[in-house]
Amino acid sequence: GIISASMKHDYLIRVLGANEKVRGFAVDTKGIVEHARLIHHNTPLASAILGRLMSAGLMMGQMLKSKEDKLTVQLLGDGPFKHAIITSNLAGTVRGYVSNPGVELPLRKDGHLDVSRAIGNGSLTVIRDMGLKDPYVSSIDLTSGEIAEDLTYYFAQSEQTPSSVGLGVLVDVDQTILASGGFLLQLMPNTDQKTIDQLEKNIKNFVGVTPYLSQGHSLEEMMDVLFEGFDHEVTDTMDVSWKCNCSFERGKEVLATLKREEIVNMIEEGKPVEVNCDFCQSHYRYDIEDLKEVLSHIDEQAK
Ligand code: ZN
């Protein structure tokens, strides 16, 4: 019914199956992508790009080891979107933006949003910040620009893990999000050929993430289809949500990374300064007293 459909929340499941030779993640991000659309005024294309990246990021965030670790996935292209970035974590929160959320392009001949043309040629970079001095950074050149295929390639190249990634965002004519989500399947080492063949068959026969979810199916049902012919069980279920960790204090820390003379100039101009968060469009205002505090912090650090 309408009520139960609107009550459905975003969530993520983790599945282990095929004699523990295959692990899977699936995520429903409809609410998160709609929230991002409202904040950033995303066109359907921007929703498609950001939604796919955020779904992927939430699943990849589950591969982090510690609660403090941070995952960043960045897309850089020479197409009209230029740049998209998301951050996620083990707790299942995500945020992100595209640098050019107003871009529209004609639909592809098959009626789909032309994501690969919107991104163009470029690279996909994964950054895992585990609180060490240097974060782990790995980058690949885009081969398809459809994001899911590029991530499949990323896992093969950078992590030597055979994977299959499916991502989708379905946008209504009024630009609201009808469905959004994804799956990620990974083979454990030494998986036998029979298992691989069956899994490939299942993936090939699968109708696709958004056609399936928009019919009202659950993630559990999606995994039943992808694990057809295998034993499998859901080992974890969690809520996922949009969350930005910016704050007035963090904005001050950003100001403190500027050159001393820049802060001095701001104080001399006597005008309050605004710091904007690209992720959530929050604006933080710093008056002269705040700037003086930043300046004394910079001087303190220089001692
Ligand atoms: Zn923010």
pLDDT band, residue 2 (cuts 50/70/90): very low
pLDDT band, residue 8 (cuts 50/70/90): low
Instruction: State percent of the chain over pLDDT 70.
Output: 97
Write the CB contacts of 154 (distance below 8 Å, at least 6 apart in sequence).
124, 126, 138, 140
pTM of the model: 0.92
Query: Which residues neighbour ligand 1 (ion) by CB within 5 Å?
Result: 244, 246, 277, 279-280, 282
CA within 13 Å, CB half, 276:
3
Residue 5 pLDDT exceeds 60: no
Task: Classify the phi-psi angles of 216: left when phi > 0, otherwise alpha if psi is within -120 to 50, otherwise beta.
Answer: left
Residue 250 CA to ligand 1 centre (angstroms): 10
Q: What is the pLDDT of residues 186-236, one digit of tens each?
A: 999 999 999 999 999 999 999 999 999 999 999 999 999 999 999 999 999
- Could you tell me which of 37, 40, 32, 77 has the C-alpha nearest to residue 59? 32
Residue 282 CA to ligand 1 centre (angstroms): 6
Q: In which residue are the tokens 């585990």 written?
A: 130
Q: Measure the CA–CA gap between 216 and 191, rounded to whole angstroms.
A: 33
- Average pLDDT over the chain, rounded to whole? 93
- Long-range pairs of 283-289 with CB within 8 A, sequence gap ≥ 24: 284/246, 284/247, 284/248, 284/251, 286/251, 286/252, 286/255
Q: What is the pLDDT of residues 255-299, one digit of tens each?
A: 999 999 999 999 999 989 999 999 999 999 999 999 999 999 999
Give the largest Cα separation in the chain, rounded. 72
Residue 244 CA to ligand 1 centre (angstroms): 5
Residue 246 CA to ligand 1 centre (angstroms): 4
